[in-house]
């Protein structure tokens, strides 16, 4: 296993290698209740490229961070749409592996409050990362950080994630992981072996609630640190985020925006946080940029359509009100 190209110094590497699921989403909005045998009128039915890896990679690229994505796609029209979209966002797709199975798809039912229900077809995600990921010099060329998305959505990541994160560190990359929801309910059984290999763990409040039922977010984040994660970032929606390190905790307020669609907001948060963190920002500044990226995302239908360039995002932050930490 090669750490890096023969003439490539660490300081010259600025990119993020993002691994996980690439999915074609069909967003249906608004959909507030299921009544079998009836017809429901909706305002929009829109196909969008989604999946945590796709969303985070596109958001990072939009924020000016070089990105390479590692994933599997089928040989179908869905794959063509996804590849074209990733290329349009200037994401490097050279590490996408072709598969014979259909590409993953999700129907996203969005209610009037912006909450979602996902109906997911795994497709070729069933075989993705079966042997982990080989961190060759070609794969990590120009890359500084490895972000693993879709831990609980791509089946083989449940067993391969710890070794992938460990190998990324051996190859000289820093690491992060965003859990997403676990439809199988295994949660800590899968996550615990990953924690010693993580520089940053991203979770939202609902996900942490499944792991640490009955405990506060503060106590839960402390437990993740005690189990090996160097930093824990808790995404708390309208209440901003909590950043926990060995030195203590920081609460960063959210921006005061009206949510239209929360699909992909957490992925945009991750991109905003990493874009700031990898440039040396303090945890509180990185948390605010994550909150800003998430706040821009929720105001538009689709995951990354509302996101701005880094310069425009920073200008938006300067003129947008923050919510009270008590709300």
Q: What is the pLDDT of residues 199-256, one digit of tens each?
A: 999 999 889 888 877 788 788 889 999 999 999 999 998 999 999 999 999 999 999 9
Rg (CA), the chain: 19
Look up residue 119 and give its DSSP letter.
Answer: E
Alpha-helical (H) ranges within 124-264 are 137-140, 157-170, 188-191, 205-211, 217-226
Report if residue 6 sits inside a domain.
no
Report if residue 8 sits inside a domain.
no
The mean per-residue pLDDT over the stretch 114-124 comes to 88
Report if residue 241 sits inside a domain.
yes
Tell me what pLDDT residue 262 has. Answer: 84
Report if residue 3 sits inside a domain.
no
| pLDDT at position 2 over 60 | no
Secondary structure tally for the chain: helices H, strands E: 10, 13
d(CA 229, CA 222): 10
27 pLDDT band, cuts 50/70/90, is confident
| pLDDT at position 157 over 60 | yes
- Region class of 237: left (phi > 0), else alpha (psi between -120 and 50), else beta: left
Report if residue 2 sits inside a domain.
no
d(CA 47, CA 27): 6
**Domain of 148?**
14-31+43-319
- Angle among Cα 160, 164, 169 to the nearest 5 degrees reads 155
Q: How far is CA 231 from the centre of its chain?
A: 16
d(CA 64, CA 60): 6
Q: Per the structure block, which two tokens stand in for 321?
A: 């009100």
| pLDDT at position 99 over 70 | yes
| pLDDT at position 5 over 50 | no
d(CA 240, CA 188): 24
Let me know: does 92 contact 120? Beta carbons within 8 Å.
no
Report if residue 38 sits inside a domain.
no
Q: Per the structure block, which two tokens stand in for 290?
A: 């994550």
- The structural domain count of the chain equals 1
User: For residues 12 and 292, which has the higher predicted lDDT (pLDDT)?
Assistant: 292
Cis before 79? omega within 30: no
Q: Residue 251 forms beta bridges with which residues?
A: 242
d(CA 308, CA 295): 11
| pLDDT at position 3 over 90 | no
Report if residue 183 sits inside a domain.
yes
115 pLDDT band, cuts 50/70/90, is confident
Tell me what pLDDT residue 78 has. Answer: 97
Three-state DSSP class for 191?
helix
What is the overall mean pLDDT for the chain? 93
Tell me what pLDDT residue 10 has. Answer: 64
Please report, for the domain that includes residue 296, its CATH number: 3.40.1190.20
């Amino acid at each position: 296993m090669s750490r890096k190209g023969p003439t490539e110094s660490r300081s010259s590497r600025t990119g993020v290698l993002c691994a996980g699921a690439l999915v074609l989403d069909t967003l249906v909005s608004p959909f507030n209740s299921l009544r079998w045998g009836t017809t429901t009128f909706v305002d929009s039915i829109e196909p969008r490229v989604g999946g945590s890896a796709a969303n985070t990679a596109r958001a990072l690229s939009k924020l000016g961070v070089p990105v390479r994505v590692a994933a599997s796609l089928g040989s179908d029209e869905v794959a063509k749409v996804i590849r074209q979209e990733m290329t349009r966002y200037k994401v490097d797709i050279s590490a996408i592996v072709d598969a014979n199975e259909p590409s993953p798809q999700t129907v996203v039912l969005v209610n009037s409050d912006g909450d979602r229900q996902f109906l997911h077809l795994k497709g070729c995600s069933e075989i993705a990362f079966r042997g982990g990921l080989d961190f060759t010099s070609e794969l990590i060329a120009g890359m500084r950080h490895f972000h693993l998305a879709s831990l609980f959505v791509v089946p083989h990541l449940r067993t391969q994630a710890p070794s992938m994160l460990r190998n990324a560190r051996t190859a000289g990359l820093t690491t992060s992981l965003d859990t997403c929801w676990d439809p199988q309910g295994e949660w800590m059984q899968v996550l615990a072996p990953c924690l010693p290999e993580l520089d940053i763990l991203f979770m939202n409040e609902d996900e942490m609630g499944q792991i640490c039922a009955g405990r506060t977010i503060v106590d839960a984040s402390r437990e993740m640190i005690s189990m090996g994660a160097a930093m824990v970032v808790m995404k708390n929606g309208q209440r901003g985020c909590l950043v926990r390190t060995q030195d203590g905790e920081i609460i960063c307020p959210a921006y005061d925006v009206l949510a239209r669609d929360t699909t992909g907001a957490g992925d945009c948060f991750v991109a905003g946080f990493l874009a700031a963190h990898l440039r040396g920002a303090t945890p509180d500044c990185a948390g605010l940029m994550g909150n800003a990226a998430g706040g821009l995302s929720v105001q538009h239908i689709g995951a990354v359509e509302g996101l701005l360039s880094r310069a425009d995002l920073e200008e938006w932050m300067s003129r947008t009100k923050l919510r009270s930490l008590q709300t």
